[in-house]
Amino acid sequence: MTLAELKANQKAVISSLPEDLDLAALLLEQGFVPDSEISLAHKAPFNGPMAFRIHNTKISIGQKIAGQIKVEHC
């Protein structure tokens, strides 16, 4: 399952980041760390950005990037 497939307020744990090392490094800097708990706060319509709750903050990323981050149910 990927972050893009989460439903509102559904919690998951990040299992892996994208294979693109530059993108993975950027996501790590933003707090998308493997084994971290994450939940979907908001999903904009028309394939807009998605906001996630992670480490007591909200971070928005595009759905295409969210589709490259694998998660597991917690």
Q: What is the pLDDT of residue 33?
A: 96
Question: How far, in Å, CA of 50 to CA of 23, rounded?
Answer: 17
Q: What is the pLDDT of residue 19?
A: 94
Q: Which helix (H) or strand (E) holds 65?
A: helix 63-66
Among 36, 32, 35, CA closest to 66? 32
pLDDT digit of tens for each residue in the chain (74 aa)?
Answer: 999 999 999 999 999 999 999 999 999 999 999 999 999 999 999 989 999 999 999 999 999 999 999 999 87
Whole-structure pTM value? 0.91
